[in-house]
Amino acid sequence: MGLDRAPASAHLRSAAGCHLLCDLRDEADRWLIIFVRDAIEGVHSWAEVDGWLGISLQAAHERFSPVILDMARRATQDDPRA
């Protein structure tokens, strides 16, 4: 999966292309967090999630657990019933 060196790839090296790729990466990260959260809140274990991501259980838990807990905390604070 190498980068194409064709002239069209010059656009991706421009500032606009760089910003676009950063935005896409950030959006993908947000979706990955939601995917992991839904898996953990469902029937899947951290061991399953780390296997899907190709990282250690410890790395998966350290990366996603604080973010998932923060999301839950903020959702509870925003809930008028809480």
What separation in angstroms does the CA of 4 have from each of 9, 12, 28, 55, 67? 6, 10, 22, 28, 35
Q: What is the pLDDT of residues 29-56, one digit of tens each?
A: 999 999 999 999 999 999 999 999 999 9
Distance CA 20, CA 4 (A): 17
Does residue 10 sit within a domain?
no
Average pLDDT value over all residues in the chain: 85
Does residue 47 sit within a domain?
yes
pLDDT value of residue 1: 56
- Of residues 9 and 61, the one with the higher pLDDT is 61
Looking at the predicted structure, is the pLDDT value of residue 2 above 70?
no
Looking at the predicted structure, is the pLDDT value of residue 66 above 80?
yes
Note the Cα 74 to chain centre separation in Å: 18
Does residue 43 sit within a domain?
yes
Number of domains in the chain: 1
3-state DSSP assignment of residue 81: coil
3-state DSSP assignment of residue 71: helix
Confidence of residue 6 (pLDDT cuts 50, 70, 90): low
The residue range of the domain holding 72 is: 26-78
Does residue 18 sit within a domain?
no
